C-alpha cells in the first residue's frame, strides 16, 4: 500500500487514489489507461446567486464532477452541506464509477454538491438554490447523460425540484433525469430502504463466509439517518442484536440490546437519540470502538484512521458510509483480521435501486416492492461473490478486490470503445 503523507490521510480523494493505484498495479493495467481512469472527465464549478428571504443576495458555490461515462450515463447524488469541497465531490464521483461497476449496472460515476447549510435555509431558499443549480447544469444532465440522486442534506422534494426544472426546460416531463423521487413522480418502491437493506444483505453474506449466526452478532451503527436507522431496523428484525447507535448529537450503548423501533420514535420526537432510556451515553466518535461483533460506520468519511483503527473490537465492518476508512487504516485492520465489506460494495444497494427506478421510468412500468427487493438481493449477492472471488484468486483484501473488479470492468469498456480523437 503506498504511503500517504500524514497531512493527506484525511483527503478523501487521496484515499480513493491510493486504493486505485494498488488495484491497477495488481491488474497490470496499462499506464495510459491508469491515467485516464484516475482522473475525472469533467469538473464544473458553479456560482449560484439567490435572493434570500431577507431581501439580500447571497452567492452559493456548487460543484458537479463527472468522473466517467464509459459504461453509461453519470450517476451520483447531490449533497447540500456547509463543508462540501471539490476534493470530496471528486472522490465521491470516482467512487460512484467503481460502485456502479462493482454491481455491474450500466452507469458511470458523477457527484454534485452545494456549499450551504440546509438547516439554516427556508424551503423557498432551498428551492431557489436547487432550481438555479439544475438550470446551470442543463447541458450536462439528462437520462442519457448524468442522472442525479439525493445525498446528504437533500431528499425526495429536492429531487422533485430538479426533475421539474429540467422538464420545464426540455418542454416535456422527464422523470428519468433523476432518481430518489417521490413515488407519485416516478419514484421506485423500496428506494428509501435500499442502502440499509443492501447492508443487511452483505452482512448476511459475510456471516455465511465466516460461518457465524445472526443471533450471536452484536452490532454497532454510527449514523442514524436514513441508512443507519433502516439498517438497524432491518437487522434487528432478522435476528441481529443492536447494542450501540450514534448520531451527530450523541451515542448510546446497551450490551443487552436496544429496541430499535422505540429508538426511531424517540429520535423523531426528540430530534436526536441522546436520552433514550436504558442506555449508557457514549461519545458519537467513540461508538465504533465499543465492544461488538459488527461495526457499521453509516455517517461520514474518515472515521476509522491510522490513529484509531487498532481500537476496533469488531470482527466485521460493513461500510455503509462513503470512505469511512482511510487507506492508512487498511493495513491495521488487516493485521487485526477484521473482515471489511468495502463501501463501494456495502452501500451499493442505493444506486442499484436507483438504477431500477431509472429503468422503470424509461419503461413507464413500475414494479412491486417485493420485486425490487428480490432483484436487489440477487444483484448484491452476485456482486459480493464476485468481489470475494477476486479476493481469493488474487490474494488481496475485499477492498482491493472490489477496486480490481470495478477497474477491470471499466477498463474493458474503455478498451472496446477506444479513445476518440
> What is the pLDDT, as a whole number, of residue 399?
96
Provide the pairing of β-strand 109-115 with 57-68: antiparallel
Residue 222 and residue 248 in contact, taking contact as beta carbons nearer than 8 Å: no
Q: How far apart are CA 303 and CA 326, in angstroms?
A: 8
Residue 19 and residue 404 in contact, taking contact as beta carbons nearer than 8 Å: no
Residue 408 and residue 396 in contact, taking contact as beta carbons nearer than 8 Å: no
> What is the pLDDT, as a whole number, of residue 9?
81
Burial of residue 359, with CB atoms counted within 10 A of its CB: 0-12 exposed, 13-18 middle, 19 or more buried: middle
Residue 113 and residue 78 in contact, taking contact as beta carbons nearer than 8 Å: yes
Question: Domain coordinates of the chain in residue numbers?
Answer: 37-175, 194-341
> What is the pLDDT, as a whole number, of residue 6?
56
Question: Hey, what's the cell of 254?
Answer: 446497551
Residue 248 DSSP code: S
Point out which residues pair with 281 in neighbouring strands.
252
Cα 248 from chain centroid?
A: 18
Point out which residues pair with 220 in neighbouring strands.
244, 295
**What number of other Cβ atoms are within 10 A of residue 404's Cβ?**
26
Q: Which of 99, 111, 181, 233 is catalytic?
A: 111
Q: How far apart are CA 313 and CA 291, in angstroms?
A: 6
Residue 246 and residue 287 in contact, taking contact as beta carbons nearer than 8 Å: yes
Q: Which CATH number fits domain 194-341: 3.40.50.720, 1.10.10.10, 3.20.20.70, 3.40.50.300?
A: 3.40.50.720
> What is the pLDDT, as a whole number, of residue 2?
43
DSSP-derived secondary structure for 54-81:
TS-EEEEEEEEEEEE-SSSSEEEEEEEE
DSSP-derived secondary structure for 317-380:
EE--SSS-B-HHHHHHHHHTT-EEE-HHHHTTHHHHHHHHHHHHHHHT----HHHHHHHHHHHH
Burial of residue 76, with CB atoms counted within 10 A of its CB: 0-12 exposed, 13-18 middle, 19 or more buried: buried
Show Cβ contacts of residue 264 under 8 Å, excluding neighbours closer than 6 positions.
229, 233
Domains 37-175 and 194-341 belong to one CATH topology: yes
Q: How far apart are CA 412 and CA 371, in angstroms?
A: 31
Q: Please list the rounded mean pLDDT of every run of 10 residues in the chain (421 residues).
A: 56 90 94 93 97 97 97 97 95 96 97 97 98 98 97 95 98 97 96 95 97 95 94 96 94 95 93 91 93 95 93 97 94 96 96 98 96 97 97 95 97 92 72
Point out which residues pair with 77 in neighbouring strands.
149
Point out which residues pair with 242 in neighbouring strands.
219
Range 37-175 classified under CATH 3.40.50.2300: no
Q: SS3 for 163?
A: helix
Residue 137 and residue 44 in contact, taking contact as beta carbons nearer than 8 Å: yes
Rg (CA), the chain: 21
> What is the pLDDT, as a whole number, of residue 11?
85
**What do you get for the CA distance between the two ends of the chain, in Å?**
35
Residue 345 and residue 102 in contact, taking contact as beta carbons nearer than 8 Å: yes
Residue 111 annotated as catalytic: yes
User: Whole-model pTM above 0.85?
Assistant: yes
Q: How far apart are CA 413 and CA 193, in angstroms?
A: 31
Show Cβ contacts of residue 154 under 8 Å, excluding neighbours closer than 6 positions.
77, 78, 79, 80, 118
**Cα–Cα distance list, 347 to 267, 270, 293 (Å):** 23, 28, 19
Q: SS3 for 302?
A: coil
Amino acid at each position: 500500500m503506498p504511503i500517504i503523507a500524514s497531512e493527506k490521510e484525511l483527503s478523501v480523494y487521496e484515499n480513493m487514489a491510493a486504493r486505485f493505484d494498488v488495484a491497477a498495479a495488481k491488474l497490470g493495467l496499462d499506464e495510459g489507461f491508469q491515467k485516464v481512469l484516475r482522473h475525472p472527465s469533467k469538473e464544473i464549478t458553479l456560482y449560484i446567486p439567490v435572493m434570500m428571504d431577507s431581501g439580500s443576495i447571497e452567492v452559493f458555490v456548487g460543484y458537479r464532477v463527472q468522473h466517467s461515462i464509459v459504461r453509461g450515463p453519470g450517476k451520483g447524488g447531490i449533497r447540500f452541506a456547509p463543508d462540501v469541497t471539490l476534493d470530496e465531490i471528486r472522490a465521491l464521483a470516482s467512487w460512484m464509477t467503481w460502485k456502479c461497476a462493482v454491481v455491474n449496472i450500466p452507469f458511470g460515476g458523477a457527484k454534485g454538491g452545494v456549499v450551504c447549510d440546509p438547516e439554516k435555509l427556508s424551503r423557498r431558499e432551498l428551492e431557489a438554490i436547487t432550481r438555479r443549480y439544475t438550470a446551470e447544469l442543463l447541458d450536462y444532465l439528462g437520462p442519457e447523460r448524468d442522472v442525479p440522486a439525493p445525498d446528504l442534506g437533500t431528499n425526495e422534494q429536492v429531487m422533485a425540484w430538479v426533475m421539474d426544472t429540467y422538464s420545464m426546460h426540455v418542454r416535456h416531463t422527464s422523470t428519468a433525469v433523476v432518481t430518489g423521487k417521490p413515488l407519485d413522480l416516478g419514484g421506485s418502491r423500496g428506494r428509501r430502504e435500499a442502502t440499509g437493506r443492501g447492508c443487511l444483505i452483505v452482512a448476511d453474506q459475510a456471516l455465511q463466509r465466516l460461518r457465524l449466526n445472526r443471533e450471536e452478532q452484536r452490532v454497532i451503527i454510527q449514523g442514524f439517518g436514513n441508512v443507519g436507522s433502516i439498517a438497524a431496523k432491518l437487522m434487528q428484525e432478522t435476528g441481529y442484536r443492536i447494542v450501540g447507535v450514534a448520531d451527530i448529537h450523541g451515542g448510546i450503548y446497551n450490551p443487552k440490546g436496544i429496541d430499535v423501533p422505540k429508538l426511531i420514535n424517540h429520535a423523531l420526537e426528540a430530534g436526536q437519540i441522546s436520552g433514550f432510556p436504558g442506555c449508557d451515553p457514549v461519545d458519537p466518535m467513540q461508538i465504533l470502538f465499543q465492544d461488538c461483533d459488527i461495526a457499521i460506520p453509516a455517517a461520514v468519511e474518515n472515521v476509522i484512521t491510522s490513529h484509531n483503527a487498532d481500537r476496533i473490537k469488531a470482527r466485521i465492518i460493513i461500510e455503509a458510509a462513503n470512505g469511512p476508512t482511510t487507506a492508512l487504516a487498511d493495513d491495521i485492520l488487516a493485521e487485526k483480521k477484521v473482515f471489511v465489506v468495502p463501501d463501494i460494495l456495502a452501500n451499493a444497494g442505493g444506486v442499484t435501486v436507483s438504477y431500477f427506478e431509472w429503468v422503470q421510468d424509461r419503461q413507464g412500468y413500475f414494479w412491486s416492492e417485493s420485486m425490487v427487493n428480490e432483484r436487489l438481493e440477487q444483484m448484491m449477492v452476485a456482486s459480493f461473490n464476485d468481489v470475494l472471488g477476486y479476493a481469493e484468486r488474487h490474494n488481496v483484501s475485499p477492498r482491493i478486490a472490489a477496486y480490481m473488479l470495478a477497474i477491470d470492468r471499466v477498463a474493458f469498456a474503455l478498451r472496446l470503445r477506444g479513445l476518440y480523437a
